[in-house]
A and B are shown apart, each in its own frame.
Chain A
Amino acid sequence: MSSPSPKSPEQSDKSKKYDRQLRLWGDHGQRLLENSKVCLINATALGTEILKSLVLPGIGSFTIVDGEKISEEDIGSNFFLENDSIGLSRAQVATQSLLELNPDVRGDYIDESPEHVMAHTQDFFNKFTVVIATALPEKRFSSDAKLVAVSVNDKSGVATLTLQRPPVNSLNLELLTDISSGLTEIEKAKCRGVILTSSAESVFSAGLDIFEVYKPNPERLNHFWKVLQDTWLKLYGFPYATVAVINGHAPAGGCLLALSCEYRIMSKNYTIGLNETQLGLVAPKWFIASMRNVIGQRQSELALTAGRLFKTDEALSLGLVDEVVDNKEEGISKAEQFLSRFRNIAPEVRGMTKQLVREDTIKDLMKTREQDLNTFVQYALNPKVQEYLEKYMQALKTKVLIPLSRHLWDAQVPLVVCRSIGFLGYIRLQVKEHTVIETHPDSENPDLRLDKPWPALKEHLDSINVATLDQKTRSHIPAIVILYYYLNKYKEFHDGNVPRTRAEKDVLRKMIRDSPIPDEHGVKVLEENFEEAIHYVNTCLNPQTIPSNVQTILDDDSCINLTQNSSPFWVMCAALRELVQSEGALPVSGSLPDMAADTNSYITLQQLYYKQAQLQAEAVFRRASQIARNLGLPQDIITESEVKLFCKHANELHLIRGCCIADEYERTSLDLTSYLEDPDSLMFYYITLRGLERFISEFNTYPGQFDDQVEPDVLKLKSIISKLLSEWNCSHALRDERVHEVCRYGGAELHSVSAILGGCAAHEVIKLITHQYKPLNNAFFYDAITSNSATFCL
Chain B
Amino acid sequence: MADLLSVPHSLSQKIRELIPKSKVLVVGAGGIGCEVLKNLALSGFQEIEIIDLDTIDVSNLNRQFLFRKEHVGKSKAVVARESILSYNPDINIKAYHDSVMSQDYGVNFFKRFRLVLNALDNRAARNHVNRMCLAADVPLIESGTSGYSGQVELIKKGVTQCYECQPKPPQRSFPGCTIRNTPSEPVHCIVWAKHLFNQLFGEEDPDQDVSPDTEDPEAKVDGEHSVTDTGNIKRTSTRQWAQEINYDPQKLFDKFFKADIEYLLSMENLWKTRKPPVPLSWQQAASHSGDGEMEDESDIRTTDMKVWPLSKCAKVFASTISQLKTDLADRNFLVWDKDDKPAMDFVTACANIRAQIFSIQQKSRFEIKSIAGNIIPAIATANAMIAGLVVLHAFRVLNEEYEKCPAVYLRKKSVHSKFILAADKQVSIANPSCYVCSPKPFVNVFVNVEAMTVKEFENELLKKHLNMVAPDVVLDGKGVVVISSEEGEMQANDDKQLIELGIVDGSILKCDDFLQNYELTVAVNQYEAKEKDDPLYKVVANKDELKAKEPANGKENGVDNNQNDGNDESDDDLMLIEYDEEDPQEGSSSKKRRINPPQDNDEDDDLCVIED
Instruction: List residues of chain A with CB under 8 Å of any chain B CB.
Output: 1-3, 5-8, 10-11, 13, 16-21, 23-24, 26-28, 45, 49, 52-53, 56-58, 76-79, 82-83, 100-103, 422-423, 442-443, 475-476, 501-502, 525, 527-528, 531, 535, 538-539, 594-599, 602, 607, 610, 641-642, 644-645, 744-746, 748, 750-760, 762-763, 766, 773-774, 776-777, 780, 782, 784, 786-791
In this assembly, does B520 line the interface, its C-beta being within 8 Å of a C-beta of chain A?
A: no
Pick from B68, B377, B580: contact of A443, CB under 8 Å: B580
Pick from B337, B360, B421: contact of A788, CB under 8 Å: B421
Q: B274-299: which residues lie under 8 A (CB-CB) from chain A?
A: 274-275, 293-294, 298-299
Chain A residue at minimal CB-CB distance from B337 = A1
Q: B39-54: which residues lie under 8 A (CB-CB) from chain A?
A: 39, 41-43
Q: Are B185 and A594 in contact (CB under 8 A)?
A: yes
> Residues of B contacting A24 with CB < 8 Å?
147-148, 377, 379
Pick from B273, B331, B423: contact of A528, CB under 8 Å: B273
Q: Are A789 and B420 in contact (CB under 8 A)?
A: yes
The digit string for B335-349, where 1 denotes a CB below 8 A from any CB of A, is 111011111000000
Q: Are A787 and B406 in contact (CB under 8 A)?
A: yes
Min CB distance B306 to A, Å, is 12
Q: A16-B59, A753-B392 are in contact. List 11 more A-B contacts (CB 8 A).
A: A10-B302, A77-B42, A79-B38, A539-B583, A598-B275, A748-B8, A750-B8, A763-B382, A776-B415, A789-B419, A789-B421
Q: Are B65 and A101 in contact (CB under 8 A)?
A: yes
CA distance A637 to B35 in the complex (A): 42
Min CB distance A100 to B, Å, is 7
Q: Are A762 and B65 in contact (CB under 8 A)?
A: no
> Residues of A contacting B39 with CB < 8 Å?
751-752, 755
> Residues of A contacting B8 with CB < 8 Å?
76-77, 748, 750-751
Q: Given A20-B62, A789-B419, A789-B420 in contact, is the A598-B10 Cβ separation under 8 Å?
A: no
**Which of B101-109, B159-167, B383-391, B437-445 faces chain A?**
B383-391
In this assembly, does B178 line the interface, its C-beta being within 8 Å of a C-beta of chain A?
A: no
> Residues of A contacting B343 with CB < 8 Å?
1
> Residues of B contacting A19 with CB < 8 Å?
59, 62, 339, 375
In this assembly, does B138 line the interface, its C-beta being within 8 Å of a C-beta of chain A?
A: no
Chain A residue at minimal CB-CB distance from B301 = A27
In this assembly, does B549 line the interface, its C-beta being within 8 Å of a C-beta of chain A?
A: no
> Residues of B contacting A83 with CB < 8 Å?
87-88
Q: Can you name 28 A-B residue pairings with CB atoms under 8 Å?
A: A1-B335, A2-B334, A3-B331, A20-B376, A49-B384, A53-B379, A56-B63, A57-B63, A58-B62, A77-B8, A100-B68, A475-B273, A502-B585, A538-B583, A598-B275, A641-B300, A746-B10, A752-B387, A752-B392, A755-B39, A755-B388, A756-B384, A756-B388, A759-B383, A760-B420, A787-B389, A787-B421, A788-B423
Q: Are B356 and A599 in contact (CB under 8 A)?
A: yes
Shortest 3 CB-CB contacts between residues of A and residues of B: A759-B384, A443-B581, A756-B388
In this assembly, does B11 line the interface, its C-beta being within 8 Å of a C-beta of chain A?
A: yes
Q: Are A751 and B42 in contact (CB under 8 A)?
A: yes
Pick from B42, B43, B62, B341: contact of A21, CB under 8 Å: B62
CA distance A644 to B297 in the complex (A): 10
> Residues of B contacting A645 with CB < 8 Å?
300
In this assembly, does B553 line the interface, its C-beta being within 8 Å of a C-beta of chain A?
A: no
In this assembly, does B6 line the interface, its C-beta being within 8 Å of a C-beta of chain A?
A: yes
Q: B382-406: which residues lie under 8 A (CB-CB) from chain A?
A: 382-385, 387-389, 391-392, 406
CA distance A28 to B360 in the complex (A): 29
Min CB distance A721 to B, Å, is 20
Q: Are A755 and B275 in contact (CB under 8 A)?
A: no
Pick from B59, B305, B341, B583: contact of A20, CB under 8 Å: B59
> Residues of B contacting A784 with CB < 8 Å?
392
Residue in B8, B341, B388 with the greatest tally of chain A CB atoms within 10 Å? B388
Pick from B43, B61, B359: contact of A752, CB under 8 Å: B43
CA distance A500 to B491 in the complex (A): 62
> Residues of A contacting B42 with CB < 8 Å?
45, 76-79, 751-752
CA distance A502 to B583 in the complex (A): 11
CA distance A526 to B500 in the complex (A): 40
Chain B residue at minimal CB-CB distance from A597 = B359
Chain A residue at minimal CB-CB distance from B299 = A641
Q: Are B300 and A57 in contact (CB under 8 A)?
A: no
Q: B131-177: which residues lie under 8 A (CB-CB) from chain A?
A: 147-148
> Residues of A contacting B340 with CB < 8 Å?
1, 3, 5
Q: Given A5-B327, A776-B414 in contact, is the A752-B388 Cβ separation under 8 Å?
A: yes
Q: Given A1-B337, A422-B10, A528-B184 in contact, is the A791-B62 Cβ separation under 8 Å?
A: no
Instruction: List residues of chain B with CB under 8 Å of any chain A CB.
Output: 5-6, 8-11, 35, 38-39, 41-43, 58-59, 61-63, 65, 68-69, 86-88, 147-148, 184-186, 273-275, 293-294, 298-305, 323, 327, 331, 334-337, 339-343, 356, 359-361, 370, 375-385, 387-389, 391-392, 406, 408, 412-415, 418-423, 580-581, 583, 585-586, 602, 604
Q: Are A788 and B583 in contact (CB under 8 A)?
A: no
CA distance A26 to B299 in the complex (A): 13
Chain A residue at minimal CB-CB distance from B394 = A752
CA distance A527 to B298 in the complex (A): 37
Residue in B9, B11, B356 with the greatest tally of chain A CB atoms within 10 Å? B9
Pick from B274, B304, B334, B377: contact of A10, CB under 8 Å: B304
Min CB distance A373 to B, Å, is 41
CA distance A610 to B360 in the complex (A): 18
Q: Given A535-B602, A598-B275 in contact, is the A748-B384 Cβ separation under 8 Å?
A: no
> Residues of B contacting A501 with CB < 8 Å?
585
CA distance A643 to B414 in the complex (A): 28
Q: Are B9 and A746 in contact (CB under 8 A)?
A: yes
Pick from A6, A82, A101, A594: contact of B361, CB under 8 Å: A594
CA distance A380 to B485 in the complex (A): 87
Q: Are A594 and B62 in contact (CB under 8 A)?
A: no
Chain B residue at minimal CB-CB distance from A595 = B361
> Residues of A contacting B61 with CB < 8 Å?
17, 56, 102
> Residues of A contacting B11 with CB < 8 Å?
750
Q: Are B302 and A27 in contact (CB under 8 A)?
A: yes
Chain A residue at minimal CB-CB distance from B58 = A16
Chain A residue at minimal CB-CB distance from B64 = A56
Chain B residue at minimal CB-CB distance from A601 = B359
> Residues of A contacting B62 with CB < 8 Å?
17-21, 56-58
CA distance A7 to B39 in the complex (A): 37
Chain A residue at minimal CB-CB distance from B9 = A748
Min CB distance A676 to B, Å, is 17
Min CB distance B25 to A, Å, is 18
> Residues of B contacting A49 with CB < 8 Å?
384
> Residues of B contacting A77 with CB < 8 Å?
8, 42
Residue in B42, B186, B356, B378 with the greatest tally of chain A CB atoms within 10 Å? B42
Residue in B58, B327, B387 with the greatest tally of chain A CB atoms within 10 Å? B58
> Residues of A contacting B421 with CB < 8 Å?
756, 760, 782, 787-789
Q: Are A745 and B10 in contact (CB under 8 A)?
A: yes
Chain B residue at minimal CB-CB distance from A502 = B585
CA distance A531 to B604 in the complex (A): 11
Min CB distance B606 to A, Å, is 13
Min CB distance A504 to B, Å, is 11
Q: Given A1-B337, A18-B62, A21-B379 in contact, is the A28-B43 Cβ separation under 8 Å?
A: no
> Residues of A contacting B412 with CB < 8 Å?
442
CA distance A780 to B414 in the complex (A): 11
Pick from A56, A528, A787: contact of B392, CB under 8 Å: A787
Q: Are A27 and B300 in contact (CB under 8 A)?
A: yes
Pick from B356, B376, B381, B408: contact of A53, CB under 8 Å: B381
> Residues of B contacting A79 with CB < 8 Å?
38, 41-42, 87
Min CB distance A601 to B, Å, is 9
> Residues of A contacting B9 with CB < 8 Å?
745-746, 748
Chain A residue at minimal CB-CB distance from B338 = A19
> Residues of B contacting A527 with CB < 8 Å?
273
Min CB distance A195 to B, Å, is 49
Q: Are A759 and B377 in contact (CB under 8 A)?
A: no
Residue in B41, B300, B381, B385 with the greatest tally of chain A CB atoms within 10 Å? B381
